[in-house]
């Protein structure tokens, strides 16, 4: 009797253990990923994270949306994801030089990583190998900006010698440098005088910091009647445009062209009266969010590693065509 009872207890214990292991295995089979962005309040990143969530709903996995505006926040976000059982994450880092530290933490947890928009660099400043990336070709996008500005200057009949360029820079971010350098190359190729290009270093990548950077430059070189403005994104270009308005410049004397194609541009194009914000080279942030999320999911669930580097292109969006471009790019 006692022996029978003992065997029954052992059998019951084994059944419970198997059930428990089965439950753990089921949890392990469920895919959960993170999507970490450096500026969760910006329209570009809102669209990316929203698209990521939609992909998760379509494929049946969970997406945890997090912000990481500095290194500590990013590492805390990774710890958070690990505690929730996530197997990997997509990230646009606040500083590309954090790549080695981020990958060290991810590798400790056995998590797969895909970067979006801004690519990790190693201690030598070169792109990190072994981390799949999807983003814009900063130089090509920048050239599109410069070409668009040059074309609009020609339409307006401006003499380049009488035009000043406000180049709002962020030299801490390699992708920002690529974009502004690309725009500069295109302008110089179109005959714009290099001596008429004035730098306005910004501390951040938003409208307020660009406004603060632009204002003293406009004041210093106030003899110029016409101005062109370019930067790493449209928020920064808008900061420059707002600064020209405060300085008393008319909209027809300013040509600002940004990069992205987000709510900031849509709001500007929707104004009753045109402003100095002429256009933006639109890239689908929705596509960036969808593609990187699906790539990471398939890497985790099917062991299909994404391409090492995928570069997307842009389309010029202006007040005249923004509705059509927005629809075409799914923005």
User: What count of residues does the chain have?
Assistant: 331
Q: Which conformational region is residue 130 in: left (phi greater than 0), alpha (psi within -120 to 50 degrees), or beta?
A: left
The list of the chain residues with pLDDT below 70 reads: 1-29
Beta strand pairing call for 277-282 and 309-312: unpaired
Query: Rounded CA gap, 326 and 278, in Å?
Result: 16
Query: Rounded CA gap, 146 and 149, in Å?
Result: 5
CATH code of domain 32-131+285-312? 3.40.50.2300
Strand order across the beta sheet in which 309-312 lies: 62-67, 32-37, 88-91, 112-116, 133-136, 309-312
- For the segment(s) 138-282, the CATH number from 3.40.50.10490, 3.40.50.2300, 1.10.3720.10, 3.40.50.720 is 3.40.50.2300
- The dihedrals phi and psi of 53, each to the nearest 5 degrees, come to -60, -40
pLDDT value at residue 29:
66
pLDDT tens digits, 256-267: 999 988 888 999
The pTM of this model reads 0.70
* Nearest C-alpha neighbor of 114 from the set 93, 95, 97, 98: 93
For 195, 207, 215, 293, the CA distances from 221, given in Å and listed in that order, are 12, 21, 10, 46
- The dihedrals phi and psi of 155, each to the nearest 5 degrees, come to -60, -40
Q: What is the dihedral of CA 102, 58, 23, 66, to 10 degrees?
A: 30
For 68, 94, 112, the CA distances from 37, given in Å and listed in that order, are 6, 8, 16
pLDDT tens digits, 294-315: 999 999 999 999 999 998 889 9
Spans of all domains in the chain: 32-131+285-312, 138-282
Q: Specify burial of residue 231 (Cβ count, 10 A radius: 0-12, 13-18, 19+).
A: buried
CB half-sphere exposure, 205, CA atoms < 13 A:
24
- Contact yes or no for 114/157 (Cβ under 8 A): no
CA 233 to chain centroid:
9
């Amino acid at each position: 009797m006692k022996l029978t009872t003992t065997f029954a207890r052992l059998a019951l214990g084994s059944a419970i253990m198997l059930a428990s292991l089965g439950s753990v295995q089921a949890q392990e089979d469920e895919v959960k990923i993170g999507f970490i962005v450096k500026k969760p309040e910006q329209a570009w990143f809102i669209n990316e994270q929203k698209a990521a969530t939609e992909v998760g709903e379509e494929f049946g996995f969970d997406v945890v949306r997090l912000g990481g505006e500095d290194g500590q926040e990013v590492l805390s976000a990774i710890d958070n994801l690990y505690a929730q059982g996530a197997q990997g994450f997509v990230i646009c880092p606040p500083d590309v030089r954090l790549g080695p530290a981020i990958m060290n933490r991810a590798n400790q947890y056995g998590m797969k990583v895909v970067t979006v928009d801004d690519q990790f660099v190693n201690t030598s400043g070169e792109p990190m190998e072994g981390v799949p990336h999807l983003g814009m070709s900063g130089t090509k996008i920048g050239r599109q900006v410069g070409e668009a500005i040059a074309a609009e200057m020609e339409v307006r009949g401006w003499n380049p010698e009488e035009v000043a360029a406000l180049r709002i820079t962020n030299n801490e971010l390699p992708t920002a440098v690529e974009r502004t350098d690309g725009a500069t190359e295109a302008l110089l190729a179109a005959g714009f005088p290099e001596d008429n290009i004035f730098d306005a270093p910004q501390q951040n990548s938003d409208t307020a910091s660009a406004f603060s950077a632009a204002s003293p430059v406009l004041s210093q070189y106030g003899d110029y009647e016409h101005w062109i403005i370019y930067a790493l994104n449209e928020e920064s270009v808008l900061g420059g445009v707002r600064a020209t308005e405060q300085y008393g410049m008319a909209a027809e004397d300013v040509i600002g062209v940004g990069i992205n194609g987000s709510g900031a541009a849509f709001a500007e194009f929707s104004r009753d009266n045109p402003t100095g914000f002429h256009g933006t080279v639109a890239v689908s942030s929705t596509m960036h969010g969808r593609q990187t999320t699906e790539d990471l999911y398939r890497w985790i669930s099917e062991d299909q590693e994404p391409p090492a580097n995928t570069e997307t292109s842009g389309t010029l969006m202006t007040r005249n065509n923004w509705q059509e471009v927005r629809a075409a790019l799914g923005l």
